Amino acid sequence: MSLRDQLLKAGVASKKDAARVDRQKKHEQRKKQGNRKRKSVAEREQQAAETAAREAAVHAKLVARKQREAEREAAEAGLRVRNLITGNAVRGRGKQPFWVKRPSGRLCRMAVSPGIAFKLRCGELGIAAQPDSDEPVVIARKAIDRLLELAPETVWFYVADTSGLSAPEEAFMDADWDISLIPHRQTFE
């Protein structure tokens, strides 16, 4: 026996009160049913929400992948520059002073051999520095050209216009004089 029947039997509630409560109950149920969405509409909304969630997850993965690729490319570019400078370094320590302007504007004195100094002035060699170092390195011209594409801030010195300096028709490279760049004193008799 339900609570309603027990209350009616005990005389606590009247039949009018029970009927009113029944009407209110039915009214609330109909109201709930009226607000309830159809099953097909609810399924479509659920599928749309799932699709949006999947697309958001795919987009987040894509953004993360692009960020990782950008970081990897930056690291590889730095390594490429480092390897290019290290692999094309020319050794040629000597007594000939060669002055180079640093990117900061200060002058740097390098001691190179006379042949290296001559090749620097003719555009066959150039001077660059590692991105994290302030020490200049003499490197081959082909590496300078590549560095100008990858990291132009690492190139300190190069001769771009070599016309008249090392043109084969002028035979400047086959010098019949001493190529030493040490200042000479001319003696008059």
What pLDDT is recorded for position 177?
A: 60
Alpha-carbon distance values, 23 to 17, 26, 141 (Å): 10, 5, 97
What pLDDT is recorded for position 37?
A: 67
What pLDDT is recorded for position 161?
A: 75
SS3 per-residue string spanning the chain: CCHHHHHHHHCCCCHHHHHHHHHHHHHHHHHHHHHCCCHHHHHHHHHHHHHHHHHHHHHHHHHHHHHHHHHHHHHHHHHHHHHHHHHCECCCEEEEEEEEECCCCCEEEEEECHHHHHHHHHCCEEEEECCCCCCEEEEEHHHHHHHHHHCHHHEEECCCCCCCCCCHHHCCCCCCCCCCCCCCCCCCC
What pLDDT is recorded for position 51?
A: 94
What pLDDT is recorded for position 60?
A: 95
Residue indicated by tokens 């200049």: 136
Q: How high is the mean pLDDT in each 10-residue block of the chain (189 residues)?
A: 70 76 84 72 88 95 95 90 88 84 86 87 87 87 90 87 59 58 57
What pLDDT is recorded for position 22?
A: 83
Closest CA to 132 of 100, 85, 68, 69: 85
What pLDDT is recorded for position 176?
A: 61
Residue indicated by tokens 């028709």: 169
What pLDDT is recorded for position 64?
A: 95
What's the full length of the chain, in residues?
A: 189
What pLDDT is recorded for position 27?
A: 85
Structure tokens at 106: 């200060």
Amino acid at 97: P
Spatial contact of 158 and 167, defined as CB atoms under 8 Å apart? no
Residue indicated by tokens 């520059």: 81
